[in-house]
Amino acid sequence: MRPLKLGTRGSALARRQAEIVIETLAGATIELVIVQTEGDRRTETSLEEIGGEGVFVKDIERRLLTGEIDLAVHSLKDMPARDPEGLVIGAVLPRADARDALVAHDGLTLEQLPVDARVGTDSRRRATQLLAMRPDLRIESIRGNVDTRIAKVASGEYDAAVLAVAGLARLGILERASQAFTAEEMLPACGQGILAVQCRAGDDEVLEALRAIDDAPTRAAADAERAFLRRLGAGCRLPVGAYAEVTGDNLLIRAFVADDAGRVRAGTSKGPVSAAARAGDMLAVRLMIEAGIKAGAGETR
């Protein structure tokens, strides 16, 4: 195979995720190319103000389309539910722990946090589920990479913050988490814990190499969750969570969506792995009907 250029963001977590992909593609000659995305440049602005969808991937995708890089690695939860024309997800790696974690001052759990505790998150999905468990919390926007957000908690600027377990684990700092939420307590974002390797649709050489590392159960779960988000419209206006699990030839997807008034509709859908996307799509349709939600309302974070 020809030497390849792999594009990624510049944070410690993004670099580690790129290293995982390089290690998985053993034998290939790969050069790492750091790309600063809009989400990285505008760290003082909330993701909702920026526009939410694709702010961590679009700049990298442009380089893929122009041929400046051959591959890109993304956290799947950062990716829009529809692939841009000319690009495909050539592989998804085995899913890491998809749960969310609380990183709290003095190692407190959610239950132990004081009344009116300040909890940092820029995700309406997380905020909705946190308030369902602790309505007294003060949810405040927090930006920055993993180390920055943890430092803001350690300094007392926030009492706690919510981060992905997978990111903490990949950085080797999972011990900083004071609590990991179960999927029943906090449904993950669509694609959370999944690394996606993106390439050009017509690059047969790269696609062949990626097929060899594509994890089938994770691909089925990703297909179901992205189909759920796609049906909603893949925007960022409403809190949405979805998590699919594969057991043998069967798939179960659990999901929720909340309307503008904060009313939550949740449900599950089952189906064969071969129809994973259909299971996600049907569940989205059902919840949208129950909630009276029009297409175009989902959230990717």
Helix and strand totals (H; E) in the chain: 10, 13
For residue 234 the two structure tokens come to 């893949």
Neighbouring C-beta atoms of residue 36, cutoff 10 Å: 11
Report whether 299 contacts 236 (CB < 8 A). Answer: yes
Decide: helix, strand or coil at residue 236: coil
Q: How big is the CA angle at 79 (ends 119 and 205), to the nearest 5 degrees?
A: 145
Amino acid at 15: R
d(CA 242, CA 252) in angstroms, rounded, equals 11
Distance CA(52)–CA(81), nearest Å, equals 13
Kindly report the backbone phi and psi dihedral angles of residue 88, in degrees, each rounded to the nearest multiple of 5, phi listed first. Answer: -140, 160
Contact 90/210 with Cβ under 8 angstroms? yes
**Cα–Cα nearest to 63, from 13, 9, 117, 124:** 9
Neighbours of 159 (CB within 10 A): 20
Catalytic residues: 78
